[in-house]
Amino acid sequence: MACAALVVYLNLCLIILETGHATEKGTRVPQATAPGDIIIGGIFPIHEDVAKENNSYAPHIQPCIRLDNRGLVKALAMINVIETMNKSPLLADVNITLGYQIMDSCSDVSTALRATAHFTQQANCPTCAQPVIAVIGATHSELSIAIARQLTLKMIPQISYSSTTAILSDKSRFPAFMRTIPNDQHQTAAMASLLSIYGWNWVGIVTTDGNYGRSALDDFVSHASKKGICVAFKSILPQSITSQDVASAITAAAETICKNPKVQVIVSFAKARHMMNLYEELKNQVLKSGGALESMRRVWVASDSWSSSSSVKGNFTLEDIGHVVGLTFKSGNLSSFSEYLSRLEAAGHDYTGDNSFLQEFYMKLNASRDAKLMSEAVLEALRMQEFKLRQKSYTFDSRGDINLGYDVIMWSCIPGESKKTVEGQHTCCYECINCTENYYSNDTDMDQCLSCDTDTEWSPKGSSRCIFKELLFFSWQDGFAVVLLTFSVLGILLALLVSALFLRQRETPVVKAAGGPLSQVILFSLVISYISAVLFVGRPNSFQCKARQVLFGISFTLCVSCILVKTLQILLAFQFDPKLQEVLRRLYKPYVIVSICVALQAATCICWLVLKSPVNDTTSQPTTLLEECNEGSYLAFGVMLGYIAVLAFVCFICAFKGRKLPQQYNEAKFITFSMLLYLISWLLFVPVYITTSGVYLPAVEMVVILISNYGILSCHFFPKCYVILFKKEQNTKYAFRKNLYDYSSKTTSAVSVCESPASDQQFSGQPYIISASSLSVPRANPVEPAVRTNCRFEKSYTGLNRGSVTRHCLRRSTSI
């Protein structure tokens, strides 16, 4: 038994030692400090709550959960004020600096008391760091009541910025507590008056189970009964948002609201997180019952605990939850604090100030002062002193309150929306509707949306600003434009290379048969035509719009005119009808024909430019601005293209007739194909051009121009280049003579039939037939005249049995 007792005693000692050790390690609280001659404490809800799971009986710090941005901002505001005061001449003259010690309450009473204990312990420790002489906080009334009881023991002044419960105005119980806002009696009275003014006399109440919620509920019911306002139901939610009962309580509150559809006004003293969860639960229950979301809409009268919280809506819109009217504390000029936040944002992670919640700084000071000389003096000064800030005076009254009144806040139509009064309801009741396209609103509660300048701006539905329209044109960076430009540059290089090759081989039969000087003119016109295609890319300007069509029209007319001359030359060379040949010989004036054809096209283009020339134009589309060339007169545009088409058609007909001529001389097949390709491509161009609009309209004409140019380059010049470079044996005078001779032997051997009257046949008994070869061998130079003798036989009779034969010969020479 003695041994057993000894074991139990030893185990108990170990437990006690572990408990004490845990107490030492577990009572430290996260804090932010800065040194100074006078230290001011701060308690802010930087986290929303603490983890409630408790698996240990030893004292320990419960971990805080869910960072609350609003609490962090309040702590930063305190730091900003202290830093600003340290720069003021008042403190600089007496060589005093203010420091701070800020702790996180985690919205939990136990955590807040632990922080308060840290403040009060320093007051009793002469060798510790500089003691705290005043405390700013807390946010919630429950925490402020607990903190005030502890600070009152040392008479350390406490100043709250948002605890509004009326009990804190009792100076017999909380003599060291003060606040910069009115208590809830003023707020609940204002709410009751607001409801009475609008005739909302049948309401429900949602509140929290705590000092703040209970006190606000009692005060509101008292004021409401005096105004003749009836309360349909009261839903009380747990104070802690992590309580195990909070989910069931919110579910019950949502069920109560759904079961009372005639109660369209609900007054709420709950927290922001409670309201967010309540809206979610209302939505779930409405959808579960098969109802429409509109059935959850109410008029929500919000207390200061959540009226200014933008996170309450969550994923909802005002159209879903209804109208929200709330009371909020009056606010002053926050420009200095905004600048401070901007500096913090600019500094980022490099900020090395005294904010340990951002950078975890801990500092210790060597000097100490008597916390009790200081706390009582500060409290007396705060109670008696009048403060001035931006030409306004502030004084704590006998109850330690500063009554600034309230601002009525209504959840307003946000930017991008406008108000629409609901028919049959009060003018203060309205719906928020999205601004339509090309309209915007840049402020809250705008009566109507403003119009954008639709010439240069646009805006989508529900927009808060206008957006400049994007300027579009067939740009150099466009992938399609890059491809077309590549083909244009390649065409220019090929034309120049062919021109150089023909110039070097100008004395060879192939080059002479291809037209000699005319081939250089054709290549020059193709280069200009390729250059005109390049002008269809890029941001259009006046010169570009005028030059591109005129340059193409004249250059391609020159090209087709030269091809027409070549076609007539071929027909003239191999035309065996003497009368037709004589007519062609007289009309065949190559340079005159080319000059006339080009002059007619030039006259058309000049009239076009003078009377109604192309100009750059900007077309406004819903979200973009299209910059393009307006052709001015589409009639002149059509005449220009039609004139080229007529010349091409004449070339096609003439070339088709001479398609069976000698191979070396026969360009008719190639001319036929190139002109056919041109006519087909431009016939397709017309409907595509008419039906196409937008950025790629210039690309349509550019493609057709490139097809036409490459058609002529490929059909007229590439075969000649092939012979010159790879079939040199065919580029000789002998080869050309042989080819012409073979053609003459094959196609010009004629059979002449001597016709006679019936009486002649009676005397002769059978017709008289003579055959002869009619072509001579070509001369040494194949491009010199070829001679052909046509023989015609005539027969006359001088008697019955004799006749005489007369032979008439016509000598004809043609130049090829």
Report pLDDT digits (tens) over 654-701.
777 766 655 545 566 778 888 888 888 888 888 888 888 888 889 998
In DSSP terms, 699 is beta-bridged to none
pLDDT digits (tens, 9 = 90+) for 720-773: 888 888 877 777 766 666 666 665 555 544 333 333 333 333 333 333 222 222
Structure tokens given for 602: 């030039």
- Beta strands 265-268 and 298-302 are parallel
Q: What is the pLDDT of residues 386-406, one digit of tens each?
A: 776 666 777 777 777 777 776
**CA–CA separation, 751 vs 248, rounded Å?**
119
Cβ atoms of 175 and 152 within 8 Å: the answer is: yes
Mean pLDDT, residues 400-423: 75
Extract the tokens encoding 142.
């429950």
Query: What is the C-alpha to C-alpha distance for residues 311 and 70, in angstroms, rounded to an integer?
Result: 11
Q: How confident is the model at residue 359 (pLDDT cuts 50, 70, 90)?
A: very low
pLDDT recorded at residue 805: 38
Give the mean model confidence (pLDDT) for residues 379-387.
Answer: 68
Q: Work out the angle between the directed axes of helices 542-573 and 668-691 (0-180°, nearest 10).
A: 150
- Tell me which H or E stretch contains 300: strand 298-302
Mean pLDDT for the stretch of residues 214-238: 91
Question: What CA–CA distance (Å, rounded) separates 78 from 84?
Answer: 10
Give the pLDDT confidence score for residue 253 in this predicted structure. Answer: 93
Q: How far, in Å, CA of 333 to CA of 322, rounded?
A: 31
Would you say residue 113 has pLDDT above 70? yes
Task: State the pTM of this model.
Answer: 0.51
CA pair distance 466, 439, nearest whole angstrom: 8
Closest by CA position to 463, among listed 424, 418, 398 = 418
Pairing relationship of beta strands 38-44 and 132-136 according to DSSP bridges: parallel
pLDDT at position 793 over 50: no
Residues 152, 174 contacting (CB under 8 angstroms):
yes
**Banded pLDDT at 282 (limits 50, 70, 90):** very high
Q: Which pLDDT score is estimated for 2?
A: 34
Which residues are registered as beta bridge partners of 135?
41, 158
Taking 60 as the threshold, does the pLDDT of residue 288 lie above it? yes
Q: Is the pLDDT of residue 809 over 60?
A: no
Cβ neighbors of 271 (< 8 A, separation 6 or more) are 208, 241, 305, 306
Best CA proximity match to 258, nearest among 223, 231, 290, 306: 290
What is the DSSP secondary-structure string of 266-332?
Answer: EEE---HHHHHHHHHHHHHHHHHTT--GGGG-EEEEE-TTTTT-TTSSTT--HHHHEEEEEEEE---
Is the bond into 138 cis (omega within 30 degrees of 0)? yes
Reduced to 3 states (helix: H, G, I; strand: E, B; else coil), residue 654 is helix
In sequence order, the 6+-apart residues with CB closer than 8 A to the CB of 653 are none
Residue 237 has what pLDDT? 92
In contact, 552 and 795? CB cutoff 8 Å: no
pLDDT of 495 above 90: yes
Q: Average per-residue pLDDT in the chain?
A: 77
Residues in the chain: 816
Residue from 66, 68, 58 nearest 27 by CA: 58
Whether 524 and 471 have beta carbons less than 8 Å apart is answered as no
Pairing mode, strands 230-238 and 202-209: parallel
The answer to whether residues 474 and 695 touch, using CB atoms and an 8 Å cutoff, is yes
Cα 507 to Cα 97, 562, 720, distances in angstroms = 103, 20, 14
